[in-house]
Amino acid sequence: MNEIAGGEICVREGRLDDLDAVIALERATEFAPHWPRTAYVKAPQAQTDSVRRYLVVAERLEKQGESVLGRLVGFAVMAVVDDSAELESVAVAVTERGAGIGMELGKAAVEWARGSGVIEVTLEVRSQSQAALPLYRRLGFVESARRPRYYADPEDDAVLMRLPLMPSSGR
């Protein structure tokens, strides 16, 4: 658990019972990739095909009486093929942005990739994404290419970024 602005945040591996909250947050996030539910179902399950996905979620812990309940406030999805990974999505609830949750999700996803023997993580982001670009740079990603006018509604360039990794020792 991490102490982040506004209270405790728990960053953990996503589970099947998180999917409704993940999909609701994704639908409420304007520029998130709006995937079908079946794509998210694959993330928290053991992978047997050539693509492995990892879902990490962030919950804000709130005390209600004698109980502590977690409210999902963010998630990230990482996909791995062989020794390469793509950070496919990072979404944080609008009311929670700027509190460091995206950074914690990104770090957790990158560490999972490193532990999986990945040697490079890539991502693609809109050039006008004023919150995401600085976050990815703080995580160590560098711009590697651009795709002019790649996105529509609104039209925008895609910025391709990469983060070289050294696999963790002993793996």
Q: Which two tokens stand for residue 153?
A: 């509604």
- Could you give the angle at the alpha carbon of 101 between the alpha carbons of 123 and 103, nearest 5°? 45
Predicted pLDDT at 171: 44
CA distances from 167 to 4, 26, 93, 118 (A): 28, 30, 31, 6
Q: Are 13 and 54 in contact (CB under 8 A)?
A: yes
Three-class SS state of 78: strand
Q: 56 lies in which domain range?
A: 2-164
| Burial profile 20-40: b = 16 or more Cβ within 10 angstroms, e = fewer | ebbbebbeebeebeeeeeeeb
In a domain, 131, yes or no: yes
Domain with residue 61: its CATH number is: 3.40.630.30
Considering its fold, how many domains does the chain have in total? 1
In a domain, 96, yes or no: yes
- pLDDT tens, residue order, the chain (171 aa): 454 445 689 999 999 999 999 999 998 887 777 777 777 776 665 555 678 889 999 999 887 778 778 899 999 999 998 889 999 999 999 999 888 999 999 999 999 999 989 999 999 999 998 889 999 999 999 999 999 998 888 899 999 999 999 755 544
Predicted pLDDT at 169: 56
pTM of the prediction?
0.84
First-to-final CA distance of the chain: 26
In a domain, 169, yes or no: no
In a domain, 170, yes or no: no
Indicate the residue type of 62: E
Predicted pLDDT at 48: 56
d(CA 15, CA 35): 17
In a domain, 86, yes or no: yes
